[in-house]
Structure 1
Amino acid sequence: MSSLATWALIGVATLVVLLDLWAIISIFRSDTNVNAKALWSLLIIIFPLLGLAIWGVAGPRGVTQGPSSPEHSK
Structure 2
Amino acid sequence: MDIEVGGILGLIWLIIIIWAIVKVAKSSASGLAKVLWILALLIFPLIGFIVWLIFGPKG
Superposition TM-score, scaled by structure 1 size: 0.75
Aligned-residue Cα RMSD (Å) equals 0.7
Equivalent-residue separation in structure 2 for 1:49 and 1:23 (angstroms) = 11
Query: How many percent identity over aligned positions?
Result: 31
Aligned pair count reads 59
Q: Which sections of structure 2, spanning at least 5 residues, go unmatched?
A: none
1:30 to 27, 44, 58: 27
Q: Which sections of structure 1, spanning at least 5 residues, go unmatched?
A: 63-74
> Which stretches of structure 1, 4 residues or more, deviate above 2 A after TM superposition?
none
Equivalent-residue separation in structure 2 for 1:53 and 1:20 (angstroms) = 11
Greater C-alpha Rg: 1
Equivalent-residue separation in structure 1 for 2:47 and 2:4 (angstroms) = 23
